[in-house]
Amino acid sequence: MSRERDWASRVSQRLGIGHSLHPCLFSGSAPDGPPEFATGSLGGSYCTETPAMPFSFLASGLRHRHLILRLTRARLEARYRDTWLGWLWLPAVPLLLLGVYTFVFSQVFHARWDTVPGQGNAPFALMLFCGLTLYGLVAQCVNEAPSLLIAYQSYLKQLLFPSEILAWVCVLTAVVPLGVSLLLLLIVYGVMVGPPPISSLLLPFTVVPLILLTLGTVWFLSSLGVFLRDLSHASAVFTSALLFLSPVFYPASRVPEALRGWFELNPLTPVLEAARRSLFEGQLPLDWGPLSVATGVGLLVSWGGYAWFMRTKGTFVDVL
């Protein structure tokens, strides 16, 4: 156990965590029965659990939840460290963007959203902000995923480290600003339009399929990025195209009928439409059919991405 304590202390120091991690994380057993870790020649690790179970990725996240939360907090603290405003940048950035959108689309373009008649020009900026906020979660994680393991290669080479948790850390780091932005959206909505409808309480549930889809995509891309370094450039092109191929700047009803079937294959479409309906149109109940399909697709992608990652993680150290 002394060796495990030494490893836990070293990991804690490298990660900037104030206190030492539990040594059982690096041993072959633990109170809640995590999988065994085997050490590679360079100090890398692989997990001997089989990812065949559909919800094994959730079990892995729950098992390492303390380390995931600490890494997420460390990344957020590093982002705002040595800045004058510090954590105040977390609400300041979306507020500044929302102010710019409101001025440009309300006072300059006089833009209106087709599905919300009779509410003036202000809701277009709020609609746009809602779409861009949800899209930003996907774009940030997809753009970061191909180089995620490369950025943490020192841990993979030298430490017994569960590399599969990095996808959770990547997504949670983007979920925190998303939650702050959605909360600010509700507050600004109350100021500019009026009290949000009761259906806005369902807004967090509409984001669940998006988080699942993003999580699985990060596992896929982070694994492939170890072998295909060009993937980071391709992901930037993909996310730029996704911005205009998703109902961010326009409602899905504006898409020509002949192309709508293809357009609805985009998993972002039901999420964005449901989020806007719950907040701006006050629809209860929501159209759970497309959301259920999107959730099923998200679970399938998460499971497939996790399974692929666990099958390939044993080769990461050799390639890096």
Average of pLDDT values for 160-184? Answer: 94
* Least confident among 22-36, 197-211, 300-314: 22-36
Per-residue pLDDT tens over the stretch 113-140: 776 554 544 578 899 999 999 999 999 9
Answer whether residue 214 shows pLDDT above 90: yes
Q: Would you say 121 and 110 are in contact if contact means Cβ atoms under 8 Å apart?
A: yes
d(CA 136, CA 165): 21
Answer whether residue 320 shows pLDDT above 90: no
Please give the model's pTM, rounded to 2 decimal places.
Answer: 0.82
Average of pLDDT values for 257-274? Answer: 90
Answer whether residue 299 shows pLDDT above 80: yes
Per-residue pLDDT tens over the stretch 13-43: 555 444 444 444 444 333 333 333 333 333 3
Confidence of residue 184 (pLDDT cuts 50, 70, 90): very high
Identify the pLDDT of residue 157.
Answer: 76
Spatial CB neighbours of 192, under 8 Å, sequence gap ≥ 6: 102, 122, 123, 126
Phi and psi at 155, nearest 5°, equal: -70, -40
Confidence of residue 193 (pLDDT cuts 50, 70, 90): confident
Answer whether residue 239 shows pLDDT above 70: yes
Report the Cα 29 to chain-centroid distance in Å: 30
